[in-house]
Structure 1
Amino acid sequence: MSRSLLLSWRFLLRDWRSGELWLLMLSLLMAVSVSTSIAIFSDRLQLSLGRQVAEVMGADLVISSSKKLSEEVSQAIEDQPVEQATVLEFPSVVMAGDQMQLVSAKAVTLNYPLRGHMRTADQPFVADEVTEDTPAEGEVWLEPRLFPLLEVEVGDTLLLGEAEFKVARAITLETDRGSGFYSLSPRLMFNISDLGATGIIQPGSRVHWRTLIAGEAEQLATFKSKVEPLLSDSEKLNLAEDDREDLRGSVVLLKQFLGLGSIAAMLLAGIAVAMSSRRFAERRFDGIAVMRCMGAQQNQLMQIFVGELLWMAVLVSIPGVIIGWLLQVGVVKLLANVLPPWLPEAGPLPMIVGGLTGIITLVGFGLAPLLRLKDVTPLRVLRRELTPAAAGVWSVYGLSLIAMLVLLWYHTGQLLMTVGMILGVSAVILLITLTIKAGLASVQRRLSGQPVPMPWRLGLKRLLQEQGQTSAQLTAFTLTFMAMALVLLVRTDLLERWQQQLPEKTPNYFAINIQPAEVKSFQNFLQSNDINGTTLYPMVRGRLIEINGLPAKEAVTEEQRNHNSLHRELNMTWSDRPRSEVKIVAGEWWQPGDTGEISIERSIVEHLGVDLGDELTFTIAGTKVTAEVTSIREVQWESFQPNFYMILPEASLKGLPATWLNSFYLPQQDRLVLNELVRQFPTISLLDMDAVIRQVQVMLEQSILAVEAMLLALLLAGLLVLASAIEASLDTRLREGALIRSLGGSRKQLVIMQAGEFFILGAFSGVMAVVGTEICSGWLNVQVFELSWQPAIWLWFTLPIVSALLIGLSGWLGIRRVIRQSPGVVLK
């Protein structure tokens, strides 16, 4: 160990025993523990949410194909350490006695599904339960609406192809059935080992193969890199998080919010470290002056104190990581009733990054104040007022800024949000600096021109005399309240969006294939049974064949060629007026009676490169329909409302075959009415979304709790920043208080002066925090979270008052030592 490091260690032990380091080490401990706990909890929660999305798809990823996978691909899958299951879907006709019905048959292996579970019931339209098994050989499970259509009961037999099966259960939920609203035919599920006995699958049969894959994140990444290059054009690999548009938005929003919370927490921790480091440096000015008189060199002193800082970082990082891990364990235990019954364990990376966060935070925020120590002169021994000016530390701040940018990018995964927040904070700091100079100049003029009560006058004069410290404290207070208010505002907007996403009585059933002649009688049935149904929507199915006169697959890039919209018929509708909840992001809607126009959903622009002015040609029931893209819409797929990729004017689709779609809400206790609905309208396809909605609601509840836990962590971090800022000026306040008391000042005057100063700082920082919050929240809502934004008027009234009261109370609690301390003790 070098001599400088040894001296640094001795100084560290001395300062620890004297109590000089507790605030700085506590601030650093908070930086490490909070960032570690957030990183681990966020990582585990994101993994669990990803797993829940996978549960809705039945696997972590799926390979879809129109035929059995090639031997090469099958062997590559066998070589990977992942679980796999096979699902085969095809349309067929099932017969029971004299009844016959078109069904969507599904053959599954014994380990289906790999993620999530199915729910079944002993009878149709009764209470269901989770099941861990699959149909046994010789058994079939039917969707509830098939029972009245086939006039069968549990225990009866039916014929599928050449094989006879026994009806065993009613299926109420398939994990992967919810991936689209338009799986039209009712479901029949059987064991894949019975497939040969049916004799249905022949060369040329219309069959949809799906290979389900499940494994750990590292295994899936390796699997994708090994297998995906081997797939043909007819074989498509889908990840769980990319497959469910109705769930993806909520997961992405939660990830972004946790990232924002990480930025705010690290900012608060950095402020606390900077304020504590400043006090740590200022209390060493006198000691260094004496050491300089004894012959110590600048470089030697800097090596000692920087070494002490590094010793501190290393020693605090280890317990900080442990505390961070324990904190997230405590949060998981506390939220055990609402979090998933299992949470994937986070890898070692969040803990490593948490430890590095502490070191980088200390160096980035704490080194700059220590650099002032090298400018302490021996003359300070005789002239105590010779305080070294702030050092030129732009290189230190620059390197620290880059390091913090990388760390925040890791925590958030959002480069745009990270850069934007850093630029926003920098702009707020500049605004604070300029405002402080103008504000203090105004106060100085007011003090010289108007009478002010003496205690308040003394407090205001002190703010003028200690402009450097005033600026530092105001910056710390402003950024603290800004970070907390910003997270609170975004949290409120997110909760409102999630609550609007699934309001009470969200439609839980979709009725599809309603024939035009049945529309009126269907509406009458809903009204007579007091069922709350939404508007009926016409639905036309067409295939996109041309883009700007070129065949669709030739008009797009090779990567875009794999998009599902080019390989299947699309569900389209007509409307001469946009729905109230539709958001037009580009272009304009047409007028009633217009033709040749089309409105497309925004993701089509991203996936196919189609934009305003392009011409799309569809084939609908053998008829070609060409339309120009005149508007682009944003669709909230997670709303569980009927949504369409393509909308055309009614005149464009007039005379083409169409069916109608309706969604409605039905309480569980009234589900038996569905038997009568299916009997009266046997051609209607009924899709039960109740279980999927419940699953999404659980995910949203967990997301809300994660948001609340983040707010609590930020509150604790903010309180520590306040303590650091107050403690940083305590030495000066002790000396001033002793002088005022020795010159005849009363305790009451001292309390008013000191507490009044903090009330002024609090109110001013509250106003500045509101300005910064409005700027940053507007940018975040529009550019990152894609939420609507409007000024938070209530914040302009509440935040200055709350910050004045909170900082004033905190200041009063912090300066009680100033009031109680004997002037003689301090002056000695």
Structure 2
Amino acid sequence: MLMWRFILKHIWRDRHQTSLIWLVLALIISVAGITAIQQLSGLISASLHQQTLYLKGADSILTSSIPITPNWQKKAHRLRLSQTTTVRFLSMMTHASHMQLADVKAIDSNYPLYGHITLANNSGDKPYHLDHQAPQIGQIWASEALLKALHAHVGDTLRLGDATFKVAYVLINEPQQGVLNLLPAPVLIMNQQDVTRTHLIQPGSVIYYQWLLKGSIKTRQALQQSIAAELTPRQSWRTSRDKASIVETMVNNSLVYLKAGLFLTLLLAGLVIHMAMTGYLQQQALKVALLRSFGATHSFILRFYMGHLGMSGLGAILTGIVLGYSLQPVWVYGLKRVFDFDIAGFIWQPAVVSLLAAMGMLVICAMPYVWSLKRTDARALFFKTATSKPSFLAQTLALCFIALLAYAYMQSWPLVAGLMLMCVFYTALAWGSLNLMLWVIKHVFAWLPSYWQFGLTHIRRRLNISLLYLISLGLSLTSLIFLIMLQQTLLQHWHHYLPKQAPNFFALNIEPFQVQSLTHWLERQHVQSSFAYPIVRGRITAINGQPVSQALGEKARHISALKRELSLSWRATLPADNLITAGRWQVPGTKAWLSVAEKLAHSLHVHVGDTLSLRIANQTLTLPITSIRQVDWLNFQPNFFILLKPGALDAFPATYLLNFYLNPQQHALLAQLKNKFPNISIIDIGAILSTTERMLQQASQVLTFMALLNLSLSLLAALQTILSFAKDKQQETNLLKILGARQKQLAIVRHSEAALLGFISGLLAVGCALAAMMYITHTLLSITWQPPWLVLSLLPFIIATALGGLNGCISTRYYQQAVSLNAYQT
């Protein structure tokens, strides 16, 4: 009890001590930043998984072109899996004299297993959610687009096949509607018991059956294994962890950047805490000597300082956690704009992990210094003794601890290992740069006056500590510059994909004779449209003359492109967003050829010179592969797995596809378009575009927050770098005053060291941030990036000037107010 009272009194007495204040600030800022970023990452991951479930409506889905086997459903029931089935097909709906192709979806009362169906009583009314309920017999729920196309309203009667149905509600949204559907038509939902009344399902009909399952992974895997041998090539599994949409892909990419930023924040936090700990404990030698003169034992010193740092650190860590959680409403509000459902509330894991991580980091950083302090004896009151430096083993343990923390946050050993190797390389580069700069100044600029050499001598005398400060300052600046450039580059990259007038509608099933009249009609309405892409449906049946099942074996069952017909197209020129990675786009003298997307070529293990056999209608077409294309699937433009030479598919009937942009005031043109071209199907992707745009805005704000956090850590590292030299600089300044140095010479002495460290750290930061940006833009994003060379070339000088100026502001208090008499007193 007396020990704790003594520790509390000591903390209260040291509350104004600068080094302790810096330590507390370092802990608060670091823990707040780590907690906030981890919390955001957790919310995004949970929200992404929740959206995936809502988009699919189940944990696992079996897609089939034949009815689901009843015995399988009995096995699922015995395993206590929740299940439901849906039946989907295309059919014409009629109302009075109007007709419209509809995507008919028949459900039962168990649908959906996740999420909900959103309905409205009439167009424009407030929507509401409905769970586990199917339309009544003889009723349907029709989408607003379908009702507008048919000039129908709620309460009207529509004909489907041989049956008539009453429109009960307007369908606003339903699971599996948040991504681009394979069936390009407005949706209606009906009861499965009404399907037989329509007499639409006949031999040869194209029907999509889905078996939706909900349950634990272990139970679902057991079911899948038990029926695996009975599956046909026309049936395939899809789980909630499969890629579902463009939005999810972009969010996952943002999570990678977030985790990389979190690692840098962890590393910077460890370095800043280590620097603050070094500054604080190195000033405790006289206090320890005083305690030893009163009979304090080694164990007492050890328990006292560990308790002191533990209580001070715990208070700072809890404050940082509270500050980190204060940002949760901001994250939740931002994510609600991206994900259209309630975001998970309080997440407790970041608080616990941040508390344990920060305390562990504090103990590992403090223990080597406290261990050396306890060996201080009473003679230190009269003779200045050097404090022992932490061993290489202690520093290695600290780095390993940070690596373990990074893995706990990122759950990816390759990513952690790569980042750790980069840090080791950065340390070696910093050491080499510092020694090279000192050698150059000593030998090349030996003609400089002696007062310029004081800063260099001080750096050389404390090379290890100077290297630590250089690494801390350089890494924080690297992170700051990298995040700012990444934010600007991603915004430019995304605006390239999503310009202000990005196409938000796709028109499909356009007949060849309608292409010219449709494009002219859109031009008269001042609507921008794209190139009209011809489409012929075909299926890959053989590779180099071998059936795909023989050529690929069991892998063929898991390649989605082999389970369905592909949209085949042709163009005389290479699409603007495509890049040839192998072969040539046009081969002279070749009668017919095809170009394959790189992703598909990798899945099929095919190369330039191989042949693919395509089954089109009742004919088989075998063509050589003359080129492999890199396709950007995130650009919201028509993209194709296979493009052919113009004329290769002239013998087959084709339809056309184009996209166009309508502003909100032009949406009334859709009704005119449907009346003029009733056979054309229109897909509205405006909801996907708006969701993606909101997500990109939130990602930009997250990068801004991370940049501000790293700016705070950079300033903290810079201040600690300057203050760590303050006492020695004060003694040098007083001595030089006695020797007659002028104010200009004293200013050079004071600023040379800080300016040199700032210049070297600026060079390292610019070089490393530039290398990281080039790697990400060319390897991960595959975009062209033009570095801002002028700004980057000036940054080292700006940083050196800023650090020297900051040192000048601090020197006003620490150096200029000192009188010459202090030199004799020291």
Q: TM bucket by the smaller chain?
A: 0.7 to 0.9
* 1:534 equivalent in structure 2: 530
User: Secondary structure of 1:21's match?
Assistant: helix
In the TM superposition, 1:310-709 aligns within 5 A as 311=310, 315=314, 319=318, 322-323=321-322, 325-329=324-328, 331-332=330-331, 335=334, 338=337, 342-345=342-345, 347-362=347-362, 365-367=365-367, 384=384, 387=386, 390=389, 392-393=391-392, 395-445=393-443, 448-451=446-449, 454=451, 456=452, 458-591=454-587, 594-595=590-591, 597-709=593-705
Distance 1:408 1:63 in 2: 37
Preserved CA contact (<8 Å) 1:66 1:208: yes
> Deviation string for 1:142-190 (max 9, x for gaps)?
4566568757565442322343212456657655345336523554432
Distance 2:333 2:514 in 1: 53
User: Counterpart in 2 of 1:710?
Assistant: 706
User: Mean alpha-carbon deviation: is it higher for 533-542 or for 739-748?
Assistant: 739-748
Q: By how many angstroms is 1:440 displaced?
A: 1.5
Residue type of the partner of 2:429?
Answer: L
Preserved contact between residue 104 and residue 187 of structure 2 (Cα < 8 Å) = yes
Q: Which amino acid aligns with 1:426?
A: V
1:132 aligns with 2:129: yes
Q: Give the drift of 1:541.
A: 0.8
Cα distance change, pair 51–158 in 1 and its aligned pair in 2 (3 A): same
Aligned equivalents of 2:749 and 2:418: distance in 1? 39
Change (3 A) 1:577 1:206: closer
CA distance in 2, matches of 1:788, 1:301: 62
Aligned partners of 2:327, 2:651: CA distance in 1, in Å?
61
Contact 1:540 1:571 in 2 (8 A): yes
Q: Which residue in the other structure is 1:34 paired with?
A: 33
Deviation at 1:571, TM superposition (A): 1.0
Amino acid at match of 1:401: L
Q: Return closer, same or farther for 1:606/1:460 CA change in 2, 3 Å cut-off.
A: same
- Determine if contact 2:609/2:625 at 8 Å carries over to the other structure: yes
| Distance across 2 between alignment mates of 1:764 and 1:673 | 62
Q: Against the structure 1 CA distance between its residues 487 and 118, is the aligned structure 2 distance closer, same or farther, given a 3 Å change threshold? A: same
Cα 1:304–1:147 change in 2 (3 A) is closer
How far off its partner does 1:673 sit? 2.1
How far apart, CA to CA, are the structure 2 residues paired with 1:569 and 1:313? 66
Q: CA RMSD in A?
A: 4.0
1-side partners of 2:196 and 2:552: how far apart? 40
* Mean Cα deviation higher: 705-714 or 426-435: 705-714
For 1:759, what is the secondary structure of its paired residue? helix
Q: How far has the Cα of 1:42 moved from its partner? A: 1.2
Deviation at 1:438, TM superposition (A): 2.0
Instruction: Tell me how far apart the structure 2 counterparts of residues 35 and 109 of structure 1 sit (CA, whole Å).
Output: 46
Q: For the residues of structure 2 that align with 1:596 and 1:13, how far apart are their CA atoms?
A: 88
1:159 corresponds to which residue?
159
Return the offset for 1:533: 0.5
Residues 48 and 248 in structure 2, CA contact (< 8 A), matched pair in contact too: no
Is the contact between residue 148 and residue 679 of structure 1 (CA under 8 Å) also seen in structure 2? no
Structure 1 vs Structure 2: percent identity of aligned residues? 26
Question: Given the two structures, how large is their TM-score scaled by the length of structure 2?
Answer: 0.86
In the superposition, the TM-score normalised over structure 1's length comes to 0.86
* 1:662 CA drift (Å): 0.7
Counterpart in 2 of 1:238?
Answer: 238
Counterparts in 2 of 1:631 and 1:105: CA distance versus 1, 3 Å: same
Give the equivalent residue in structure 1 for 2:105: 106
Alignment of 1:255 with 2:252, yes or no, is no
Tell me, yes or no, if the aligned pair for 1:538 and 1:658 is still in contact at 8 Å.
yes
Q: Distance in 2 between matches of 1:213 and 1:320?
A: 45
State whether residues 477 and 762 of structure 2, in contact with CA within 8 Å, keep that contact through their aligned partners in structure 1. Answer: yes
Deviation at 1:250, TM superposition (A): 0.7
How many residues align? The count is 812
Deviation at 1:258, TM superposition (A): 0.6
State the AA in 2 paired with 1:582.
Answer: N
Residue-by-residue CA offset, 1:402-443 (whole Å, 9 max, x unaligned): 332232233234544433322222222212211211212232
Unaligned runs of 5+ in 2: none
| CA contact 2:116–2:174 (8 Å) conserved in 1 | no
With over 3 angstroms needed to count, the CA separation of the structure-2 counterparts of 1:130 and 1:318, relative to structure 1, is: same
Give the corresponding residue for 2:720. Answer: 724
Following the alignment from structure 2 to structure 1, what is the Cα–Cα distance between the partners of residues 116 and 260?
30
**Residue 119 to residue 781, structure 1, CA distance change in 2 (3 Å):** farther
Q: Aligned pair 1:23/2:22, yes or no?
A: yes
Q: Are residues 661 and 204 of structure 1, via their aligned partners in 2, closer, same or farther at CA, if it must alter by over 3 Å?
A: closer
Q: 1:50 to 1:480 in 2, by over 3 A?
A: same
SS in 2 for 1:517: helix
Matched, 1:804 2:800: yes
Moved more, 569-578 or 94-103: 94-103
C-alpha distance in 2 between matches for 1:39 and 1:223 = 31
Partners in 1 of 2:47 and 2:144 — Cα distance? 31
Go from structure 1 to structure 2 and tell me whether the alpha carbon gap of 1:557 and 1:382 turns closer, same or farther (over 3 Å shift). Answer: farther
Q: Give ranges in structure 1 of 5+ residues lacking alignment.
A: none
CA distance, structure 1, for counterparts of residue 323 and residue 68 of structure 2: 47
